[in-house]
Amino acid sequence: MDFKAFDTHKLDEYAKEAKKQWGQTPAYQEFEKKSKGRSKQQEQEITENMMKIFTEFGSLMALPASEPSVQAQVKVLQDYITTYFYQCTPEILFSLGQMYGCGGEFTQNIDAAGGTGCGKFVQEAIAVYCQK
């Protein structure tokens, strides 16, 4: 699987934008603590493993977003974000879902990992999950 869409340059761009938008939030401060001291290799592995979560979503796209196995995958994603980035509350997860499915680079990268339409599918699955 090719994750060149998440090369170091792009990751650095995303990090700058995130700090600009959310730098004063508790979630961003938690992210900074969790990521402090990570090597570029560790960061790359974390990113690749997250993209594998989207690959798994891709294998579930024939199912309804409300299907228990799809909802379990949303929980996997939420737990992964909490473990490696910040406490992924339902509100944050919902916002991420909107970003994943609204087009642009995030959607393109998720679709590259999981197949065409995967970003939108993840958005829908997260919306269902957060309604519970």
DSSP string, 18-80: HHHHHTTSHHHHHHHHHHTT--HHHHHHHHHHHHHHHHHHHHTTTS-TTSHHHHHHHHHHHHH
Q: 122: domain range?
A: 70-132
Q: Average pLDDT of the chain?
A: 86
Rounded mean pLDDT, 80-109: 93
- Look at residue 10 in the predicted model and tell me its pLDDT: 55
Q: What is the pLDDT of residue 5?
A: 46
pLDDT at 11 over 80: no
pLDDT at 98 over 80: yes
Structure tokens at 102: 């609204």
The pLDDT of residue 25 is 73
* Structure-derived torsion over alpha carbons of residues 30, 51, 124, 66, reported in degrees to the nearest 10: -100
| 108 domain residue, yes or no | yes
Is 11 inside any structural domain? no
C-alpha 26/C-alpha 28 separation (Å) is 5
Q: Please indicate whether residue 17 or residue 91 has the higher confidence score (pLDDT).
A: 91
Q: Is residue 35 part of a domain?
A: no
Flag whether 51 is in a domain: no
In a domain, 48, yes or no: no
The string of pLDDT tens digits covering residues 23-72 is 577 776 777 787 888 998 998 899 899 999 999 999 999 999 999 999 99
Q: What angle do CA 89, 95, 109 make, to 5 degrees?
A: 115
**How confident is the model at residue 104, as a pLDDT?**
87
Domains in the chain, number = 1
